[in-house]
Structure 1
Amino acid sequence: MEQNQMMYPAKIAALASGTALIALQTAPAFAEGTRSGTIITNTATVDFRVGDVQQTRQTASDSFTVDRKVNLTVTLVDGPTTTVVPGQTGAVITFDVSNLSNETIDAVLAVTQASSGDAFDATDVQIFVDDGDGSFNPANDSQTTLIDEIGEDATVRVFVVSDIPLGQANNDLANLTLSATAHAGGAEGSQGALLTATSGTNTAGIDTVLADGAGPDDSANDGIFTARGGYRVSAATLTVTKTNRLLEDPVNGTTDPKAIPGAEVEYCVAVSNAAGSATATNVIVTDVVPDDLAIITGSVRINGGLDGSNNCIGGDPGGNVTGQTVTAQLSDLAGGETRTASFRVTIN
């Protein structure tokens, strides 16, 4: 009996081995991790025997709260620049704003224009948040600087809409930046407080970690992300020259004619579009002729060319004459092309 009792301490030491069983209480996991505010409880259990008798299970638990990881991204959807024409209104640049945080947040939007390195600033710049169809429609999309309650892993399309000043030259560039700044979510219909990183050691509550990367105009871990877009002007670059040549006069005929009453003069208007420029359409030449001249009926010709002396040659009959006004519509003028309009008058 004593012998058996002497063996008990050794037997207890051998049998008092336990297995730890882990129980986790979590919310569903998303692409960016467990939702902030989730309380994770980890319980370990120890089962053991003394002799051949199962003893009371021992447990120990520990809990912590998942902190807030804030990460916004802004992506340019279009190419590096959006092609526009001078005087265009409602020119659209498309961005996507994505919430890679582990909770719903508000994103406050802003547009800034480059202070250097481009040719002009767009005007009447506005921000619209898409209604969900992915296409800009000012009647349905919301003009706002707030994406309210953007959920975890959600992406919202944003349109920057601007006007282009008239008179901009071909290839002129306007650069702008769209920024999204993280604010607290949770209050639908109102802008939450600015999110800032929690300093110091981890607390028992929900701390904030700014996990965003660096965009072109922001720093990493600042709760802001930026993306750049731009407007590239595609313009026709027209030059107009007007010349005249004496064809004949009543005294000298066609030999060294002079500008005397009764002389016949040809006017030549040449319209050129610089190489690489956008095609000019609906090109209309209008010339108001002084009363000292009489327009010769049927003399208007359009879509001609120039000879080596820059005189009009060729062309087709056309145009209109109303009183002392000549109007000639030319065909579309692509970059690098020249077309002419010509007409003849006599000196009164």
Structure 2
Amino acid sequence: MKTTKQLLGAVSAFALVAMTSAPALAQGTSAGTEITNTVNVTFNVNGVTQNAETATDVFTVDQRVNVTVTNVGAATSVAPGETDQALAFDVTNLSNSSVDLELTALLNAGTAANISNIRVYLDTNGDRVLDATELAAGPITYLDEVGSSATGVTVAVIVLADFGLNAVNGDSFDVALTANAHAAGGAGSLGAELVESATNTTGIDTVLFDGQGATDALRDGAFSAIGTYTVAGAVVDVAKASRVVSDPVNGTNNPKAIPGATVEYCITVSNATGAATATDVDVTDDLPFDVTYDSAFGIFVDGDATCANGTAGGTFTANAGVGGEDRVSGDLSDVAGGQTRSLYFRVTID
């Protein structure tokens, strides 16, 4: 199968700049074509050939409206808080005439509070990626003067959406893109919506021939397809625990949390199995005023779930915490789904 590029003549702020031609059902004779048929009758009278009689019939080919929309590619994976996430669609005019195509992108399934700013852009080069120039051209609401051909004319568009931080791993959002056929209203303006002609006239009548899409009805002059966003978020759980290492009375034998005792703080960061990797993991812990940081022990990062096997790292900053508390901080390596990493250090009870 070969894909070719075609170019429309007139363009405007909303005009179609470039398109691809895709195989489809042949569209037949163009709407508005006059088909003329002449019949010729010859006859004789008493063996003599008489002047032939002719009769001519002319009728006009009506407009057959057909449009399809196809989501291109698999579901788009997004992270909570991401913006300008793309779904690629092909919009095809299968009519036997040029049409304008009004575009509407709406949430069909998913939590509305966690998706916003859904809009449509023209993918002028058809590469399924919205580059800086295409983004700067701004969103569109319709495709202008989409032509017809024997194989249909396909225009590439991209839907963008933003996602809230409250979207969680495993959430999905179905977005329906609908193309509704309008009369070709001239470059730069959206023509009137096309409707089925009620009667057969001598002019160009309209027949709606479109199929039933994801959210539209059969033969309604529109067609819709659904693209899906799936959320691949990190499912992070943070836990903090403490254990008494020793005290001035009992040493390490069943020590108690008395003044002078050494206490180890264990901070674990885990990520659920199958979740997206948590990156740039920063740990900040402001110490209570009743303890003193044990600089001789230090700070260990990237330990395991039991706060062992870490490597020396992290930072102690006196009086840097809220209200002047001492602060311990450290960066952990990326925490992939199913992993746990830890930061641990020790203090002395005042």
The question of a shared fold, defined as TM-score above 0.5 by the shorter chain, is answered with yes
Q: Pairwise mapping of residues 44-123 of structure 1 onto structure 2 (< 5 A)?
A: 44-46=39-41, 56-79=51-74, 81-114=75-108, 118-120=110-112, 121-123=114-116
- 1:59-208 paired onto structure 2 within 5 Å: 59-79=54-74, 81-114=75-108, 118-120=110-112, 121-134=114-127, 135-137=129-131, 139-140=133-134, 141-152=137-148, 153-200=152-199, 202-208=200-206
Give the deviation of 1:122 after TM superposition.
Answer: 1.3
| % identical equivalent positions | 45
* Amino acid across the alignment from 2:317: T
- Aligned-pair distance for 1:43? 1.7
**Equivalent residues in 2 for 1:1-348, closer than 5 Å:** 31-46=26-41, 56-79=51-74, 81-114=75-108, 118-120=110-112, 121-134=114-127, 135-137=129-131, 139-140=133-134, 141-152=137-148, 153-200=152-199, 202-297=200-295, 298-307=297-306, 312-323=307-318, 324-348=326-350
CA spacing shift, 1:63–1:226, aligned 2, 3 Å: same
Cα RMSD, aligned residues only: 1.9
**Are the counterparts in 2 of residues 104 and 186 from structure 1 also a CA contact under 8 Å?**
no
Structure 1 residues 242-289: Cα deviation after superposition (integer angstroms, max 9, x where no partner): 000011111211112122222111000011101110111111111111
- Indicate if the aligned counterparts of 2:299 and 2:314 stay in contact, CA closer than 8 A: yes
Deviations, residues 197-243 of structure 1 (Å, cap 9, x unaligned): 0113x211100000000011111111011111121100000101100
Letter in 2 for 1:184: A
Q: Which residue of 2 aligns with 1:23?
A: none
Shift of 1:60: 2.1
Give the count of matched residue pairs.
311
Q: Which deviates more, 209-218 or 323-332?
A: 323-332
Q: Residue deviations 1:22-63, cap 9 Å, x none?
A: xxxxxxxx9301110000001223456778876544432111
Q: Distance in 2 between matches of 1:142 and 1:223?
A: 26
- Equivalent residue letter for 2:124: D
Q: Distance in 2 between matches of 1:126 and 1:194?
A: 21
Inter-partner Cα distance in structure 1 for 2:71 and 2:153: 16
TM-score in terms of structure 2 length: 0.84
The offset of 1:157, in angstroms, is: 1.3
Higher relative contact order at CA 8 Å, sep ≥6: structure 1 or structure 2?
2
Whole-Å Cα distance in 2 between the matches of residues 50 and 155 of structure 1? 61
**Do the aligned partners of residues 177 and 328 (structure 1) sit closer, same or farther apart at CA in structure 2, a change above 3 Å counting?**
same
Bigger drift between 212-221 and 315-324 goes to 315-324
Q: Which runs of 5+ in 1 are unaligned?
A: 1-29
1:142 CA displacement: 4.1
What TM-score results when the alignment is normalised by the length of structure 1?
Answer: 0.84
Mark the structure with the bigger radius of gyration.
1
Q: CA deviation at 1:306?
A: 3.1
In the alignment, the residues of structure 1 paired with residue 157 and residue 27 of structure 2 have an alpha-carbon distance, to the nearest angstrom, of 22
- In structure 2, C-alpha distance between the alignment counterparts of 1:345 and 1:48, rounded to whole Å: 121
Pick which of 273-282 and 46-55 moved more.
46-55
Can you list the C-alpha shifts for 1:73-120, whole angstroms capped at 9, x where unaligned?
1110121x2110000010111111100000000011112212xx5344
Q: Secondary structure at the match of 1:139?
A: helix
* Structure 1 residue identity aligned to 2:256: K
In structure 2, give the amino acid aligned to 1:344.
R
Letter in 1 for 2:91: V
Separation in structure 2 between the aligned mates of residue 82 and residue 50 of structure 1, nearest angstrom: 81
Contact 2:266–2:345 under 8 Å retained in 1:
yes
Q: Secondary structure at the match of 2:125?
A: coil
Q: Do the aligned residues in 2 keep the contact of 1:130 with 1:142 (CA within 8 Å)? A: no
